[in-house]
A and B are shown apart, each in its own frame.
Chain A
């Protein structure tokens, strides 16, 4: 990880210079294998994690509650992928975004990560299909302050949930 740098916010990692002409060459190499053609500053901030709040790997055996304050941006989304960086099928159920995710009175979003979305009627759910997974948060058109003050990026909390909905 040291070769490619990286900025940490809790369990989330981001790279502000991704795909830019002055980026760290090792980062370019790394991203080529996991993401290929990334968008660039100030268009987007990508945050990624493979771990929950207890620093345990995200497992297809568990349900999780992903919650947080929405970022100040044009559009944001959470998408899950398997540990080999591949899409999980059905892909339409692996995403939650700012257009379709309601914000609660508290100002928070709440997204369930589960392989049984039917257990959570009325909730926004991402279906991990029982696979171990990582999550990418994409913040498009972010508040430019996020680039200078990483602590201001509102990252999500990921806690183990249960099957009771």
Chain B
């Protein structure tokens, strides 16, 4: 009897662990596939991939399975990363007006381990480093990741849809490299 209870309990714990792991993993794999597909140039969507950054065009979002409930007002860009290539350095422009802008860095399990918004930055450019090395120091902010792979997500609000082209040009000054 005791054996069966132990087995049942063990199965329940394993199932629980599997189920809470599987959801984020499934959707991150979907995101990987969507990002891979977006590398192909489609005229109506413009150049979405540039130097490791995926610039999301709101008009081309609707049939992407990983893009759930995006805010139509936002311009998003994504930087998928794999820290087995080194630490990731990112430099990105910051709007000087009152419009909302933020950066979030997400682990592979979708948790955000770093965030910052433009109210906390007094320059027109923000540079930071993502690393798994807890002993790492630098003269720019460091975000310590707990998984090798992850994604950086930028949100930039359009006060009006007519701002799209201007803001799209603006965000494309983003640069990233492994160091």
* Residue ranges of A at the interface with B (Cβ–Cβ < 8 Å): 19-21, 23, 25-26, 28-40, 43, 74-75, 77, 79, 81, 85-87, 89, 91-92, 94-95, 97, 99-100, 136, 138, 140-141
Contact = CB atoms under 8 A, between A and B. Distances in A.
Contact of B100 (A29, A31, A86, A140): A140
A51 B71 CA distance: 20
B69 A141 contact: no
Interface of B: 19-20, 22-24, 26-28, 31, 58, 61-62, 66-73, 98-100, 102, 104, 106-107, 109-113, 115, 117, 119, 146, 151, 153, 155, 157, 159-161
A81 B71 CA distance: 10
A37 B151 contact: yes
Nearest to A29: B23
B104 A37 contact: yes
A100 B110 contact: no
Nearest to B16: A25
Given A28-B20, A40-B112, A91-B72, 14 more contacts: A21-B111, A28-B23, A29-B20, A33-B27, A34-B68, A37-B151, A37-B153, A39-B104, A39-B115, A79-B69, A85-B69, A86-B62, A95-B71, A140-B157
